[in-house]
Amino acid sequence: MGLIIPKCNAEPATLDLTLKVYYEANDWVENTVLIDRLSKLLINAGIEKTKKEPQSYTKKTQVLSYYGLLEWEDKTNNQSRRRITEYGRKLYEFRNNNDLHSVQTLLLEILSTHIFGRNVLGCDSDSDLEAPNIFIKSCLLIKNLTNKEFGYILGKMEYSKMELADVLLDVMMQRRNGITVQPDEASVKWSDPKPILALADWGLLDVTKQGNLKMYNVKQNVIDSHNSKLIALKTKNTESAHAHHQNIPIGDKPKYSEEYNAFRTYITAIKSKPFLLLAGISGTGKSRIARELARACWDIDSEEYKEPKPRNFELIQVKPNWHDSTELIGYVSRISEKPVYVAGEFLRFITRAWENLDIPHILCLDEMNMAPVEQYFAEYLSVIESRKCNEEGHIITDPIIKKSAEGWYKTLITTLTGNNEALKEQFLTKGISIPQNLIVVGTVNMDETTFSFSRKVLDRAMTIEMNEVNLYAGLDCKNERLGKLDGKKLIGTAVEGADVYAGNEDVCNKVLTYLQAVNCVLNSTPFKIAYRTRNDCLLYVINNLPYNIDKNNKELSENEVIAKALDEITSMKILSRIEGDETKVKNSFLKELSDTIEEQLSALTGEEEQTESVSIAKLKEMQERLLSGYTSFWS
């Protein structure tokens, strides 16, 4: 769904009118010309009543020049005339067309690529600090950042030479103790510098007041639509040994709880790829997990939470006689005089998900491999590979049902969408595609009565085994007590490794080093890692970075979090594809793979032996199974 652009205020902003002078001139503009034209524009707009002193008009160009929207003819000697740059031209056009999303995209591009350097205008400073970048990063990590706190942060970095992460930690600790930090005399000037106020005026920030304090937050629609750009935002002079304060996915850092620890792998796997296979013996609660994840998207005291089946959950039992998609997606019936499309439950559920994009919708295909998945689920397997991030930051896919000019298609859309005219128009013009908030969970029992999975299916899904049974579990509470899960924890905002690499380069390089070592063992086998698996591994590790508190409430190092996530994703995406007899899978191959994984994980954690490794334990199990002449991941 496109971003709804709010209308600008009737009174044009002063910076917009200043930019207007240079945009319309489309050439060098002398200061005398600027003063004459801008004063008239401001008076006509009702912003000023009379013409003011010349300096008040030339000062308005400072912020525009600071962001690279205007350039001087000679920056060292002659500041008497300026002209608009390509950035300035774009900003003016986007603002003039009320295109807020494009304005935000452009500003984040400027913040990521522009070198600011000295003279933070409005602060009379010779600092080399990149104040706007530091401000955005501070806002993302501290909610309701005040102008005094920002002055304190920049002052500490400028005069005490503290690193950003250390100052932020200092501010948070003082907040916890009820202390409002005060900038010292030398750094008071950092409070409310003009470039920061401009970012608020242009739509990147929300500003609220509490007494004499101003509180800033990055707008929620900026976080929702530009998450990958925010993660990738580079900040000069803010390196820190405390890497866990930086380069993490935008959003609140979850605290440890038994419930989150139990569900973490499901949550992060789904966020990395919204197609999850839960495999294990019958009765281990696979379909219940899917239902409770859907329930956790509602407030615990809401009526929907108390319902046996929340409306964002659908369970469909797969039948052995399914050999095409008619039961799930539907088909065109030509029995009557006019062709009619008979919609399947999956298609109806897709429509419900489109109607509530903020809420994750979970479809559970129970006993998924009772029929050949490649046959009855072919359309979905094809479409999920078309997922990509569009310019608005939303994940889109090719249509699972293409638009058609035939009468049955229009009737189908009317039946599905009812009175939702916007959704009806979308389906009629673009076809029916998979929404970003749709999650498919398949439960799997691997025995002689079911079909095995091809690599086509396994490559497109995340796989979690559920064979452990705790007979005491679930006796003291009806539900799993997961608590509230907001959509951001389940709905991914990245599709490929490129979406997260720029902002997490160090972490991603550690993942790639690990995958290269594993691929050396897999070389010349059908199990070799390719780009799809690489992307899934990168996303899974990055999505796990915020979960850095263990059950003893001890903070894990970044490398410990990476090692744990790599261990898990190895089992999910790499080992699940390995199967065959002794001619294809030799014991020496499994041993070498196990040794390589242990060596690579130990290199990250600094431990000689990797403890509680799920992938190494699985490989030992597969080695034992090979004694019968055949082995596979599946129990």
Q: What is the mean pLDDT of the chain?
A: 83
Residue with more model confidence, 578 or 12:
578
Residues 420 and 439 in one domain: yes
The CATH number for 225's domain is 1.10.10
Residues 537 and 483 in one domain: yes
Q: Is residue 252 part of a domain?
A: no
Q: Mean pLDDT throughout 592-600?
A: 96
pLDDT at 483: 66
Q: Mean pLDDT throughout 149-173?
A: 81
Buried b / exposed e over 106-131, threshold 16 CB at 10 Å, is bbbebbbebebeeebbbbebebebbb
pLDDT at 198: 87
260-269, 430-439, 453-462, 619-628, range with the lowest pLDDT: 260-269
Q: Mean pLDDT throughout 236-260?
A: 39
Cα–Cα distance between 368 and 441 in angstroms, integer?
9
Residues 280 and 161 in one domain: no
Q: Is residue 341 part of a domain?
A: yes
Alpha carbon separation from 307 to 263, 313, 357 (Å, rounded)? 21, 11, 20
Per DSSP, what are the bridge partners of residue 83? 71
Reply yes or no on whether the pLDDT at 255 is more than 50. Answer: no
Per DSSP, what are the bridge partners of residue 462? 276
The CATH number for 351's domain is 3.40.50.300
Q: Is-contact 34 57, C-beta < 8 A?
A: yes
By percentage, how much of the chain surpasses pLDDT 70?
84
Q: Is-contact 84 19, C-beta < 8 A?
A: yes
Q: Is residue 251 part of a domain?
A: no
Residue with more model confidence, 365 or 281:
365
By percentage, how much of the chain surpasses pLDDT 90?
45
Per residue in 198-234, pLDDT (tens digit) is 888 898 998 888 877 888 889 988 888 887 677 666 4
Residues 439 and 339 in one domain: yes
Read off the pLDDT band of 424 (50, 70, 90).
very high
pLDDT at 4: 33
The strand pair at 361-366 and 438-444 is best described as parallel
Q: Mean pLDDT throughout 546-550?
A: 82
541: which 2 tokens?
A: 């590790």
pLDDT at 481: 57
Q: Is residue 84 part of a domain?
A: yes
Q: Mean pLDDT throughout 365-394?
A: 89
Phi, psi of 380, deg, nearest 5: -65, -45
Cα–Cα distance between 261 and 634 in angstroms, integer?
24
Read off the pLDDT band of 469 (50, 70, 90).
low
Residues 90 and 128 in one domain: no
pLDDT at 248: 35
Q: Mean pLDDT throughout 98-109?
A: 90
Residue with more model confidence, 624 or 301:
624
Give the side-chain half-sphere CA count within 13 A for 376. 22
Q: Is residue 253 part of a domain?
A: no
104-108, 257-261, 304-308, 580-584, range with the lowest pLDDT: 257-261
Residue with more model confidence, 224 or 413:
413
Q: Mean pLDDT throughout 276-302?
A: 88
Domain boundary residue, one of 98, 123, 142:
98
Beta-carbon count within 10 A of 3 CB: 16
Handedness of CA 299, 302, 304, 306 (dihedral sign): positive
**Helix spans in 377-496 (H):** 378-383, 407-417, 421-430, 455-460, 487-490
Residues 53 and 142 in one domain: no
Residues 195 and 105 in one domain: yes
Q: Mean pLDDT throughout 96-107?
A: 90
Reply yes or no on whether the pLDDT at 11 is more than 50. Answer: no
Helices (H) and strands (E) in the chain, counts: 28, 19
Reply yes or no on whether the pLDDT at 259 is more than 80. Answer: no
Q: How far is residue 631 CA from its own chain's centroid? A: 37
The strand pair at 205-210 and 213-218 is best described as antiparallel
Cα–Cα distance between 346 and 440 in angstroms, integer?
10
Reply yes or no on whether the pLDDT at 475 is more than 60. Answer: no
Per residue in 41-89, pLDDT (tens digit) is 888 888 888 888 888 888 888 888 888 898 877 654 455 788 999 999 9
Residues 458 and 562 in one domain: yes
Read off the pLDDT band of 127 (50, 70, 90).
low
Reply yes or no on whether the pLDDT at 405 is more than 70. Answer: yes
Q: Is residue 49 part of a domain?
A: yes
Domain boundary residue, one of 246, 277, 307:
246
Report the greatest alpha carbon distance in the chain. 94
Reply yes or no on whether the pLDDT at 256 is more than 80. Answer: no
Residues 272 and 138 in one domain: no
Residues 54 and 198 in one domain: no
Q: Is residue 282 part of a domain?
A: yes
Q: Which domain covers residue 473, as residue numbers?
A: 258-632
pLDDT at 3: 32
pLDDT at 235: 43
Cα–Cα distance between 163 and 76 in angstroms, integer?
31
Domain boundary residue, one of 195, 220, 246:
246
Residues 275 and 181 in one domain: no
Cα–Cα distance between 176 and 178 in angstroms, integer?
5
pLDDT at 10: 33
pLDDT at 187: 67
pLDDT at 346: 96
288: which 2 tokens?
A: 């219940």
Q: Mean pLDDT throughout 485-489?
A: 81
Residue with more model confidence, 280 or 36:
36
Read off the pLDDT band of 608 (50, 70, 90).
low
Reply yes or no on whether the pLDDT at 506 is more than 60. Answer: yes
pLDDT at 355: 94
How many structural domains comprise the chain? 3
DSSP 497: T
Cα–Cα distance between 116 and 131 in angstroms, integer?
8
Q: Is residue 123 part of a domain?
A: yes
46: which 2 tokens?
A: 């009702």
Residues 197 and 277 in one domain: no
83: which 2 tokens?
A: 């002209």
Q: Mean pLDDT throughout 602-609?
A: 81
